[in-house]
């Protein structure tokens, strides 16, 4: 099982940079960068909510599930 983060793609579609998203969401650029590159094991719902609110997207736009059979 793998959850793939597509935050970088959504950010590019919305033409928003890491610094601006960090400022609007209220989390550090380092933590946001870790999310963007998929270096995290978990994400708080409050953080996901804030990101979706700023980017005007659904959680499914950012998170993608891939079964182990597809890996």
CATH number of the domain at 17, please.
Answer: 1.10.260.40
Total-model pTM: 0.86
Query: Going by C-beta distance under 8 Å and a sequence separation of 6 or more, which residues neighbour residue 25?
Result: 32, 47, 50, 51, 54
Angle subtended at Cα 52 by Cα 65 and Cα 35, rounded to the nearest 5 degrees:
60
Helix, coil or strand: residue 63: strand
**Number of domains present in the structure of the chain:** 1
Is 23 inside a domain boundary? Answer: yes
Asked if residue 67 has pLDDT above 90, the reply is no
Is 40 inside a domain boundary? Answer: yes
Is 71 inside a domain boundary? Answer: no
Is 51 inside a domain boundary? Answer: yes
Domain that holds residue 55: 2-66
Is 48 inside a domain boundary? Answer: yes
Is 33 inside a domain boundary? Answer: yes
Q: What is the pLDDT of residues 15-53, one digit of tens each?
A: 999 999 999 999 999 999 999 988 998 999 999 999 999
């Amino acid at each position: 099982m793998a959850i793939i983060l597509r935050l970088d793609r959504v950010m590019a579609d919305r033409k928003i940079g890491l610094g601006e998203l960090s400022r609007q969401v209220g989390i550090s650029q380092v933590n946001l960068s870790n999310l963007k590159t998929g270096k995290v094991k978990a994400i708080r719902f409050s953080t996901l909510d804030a990101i979706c609110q700023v980017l005007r997207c659904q959680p499914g736009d950012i998170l993608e599930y891939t079964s182990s059979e597809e890996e």
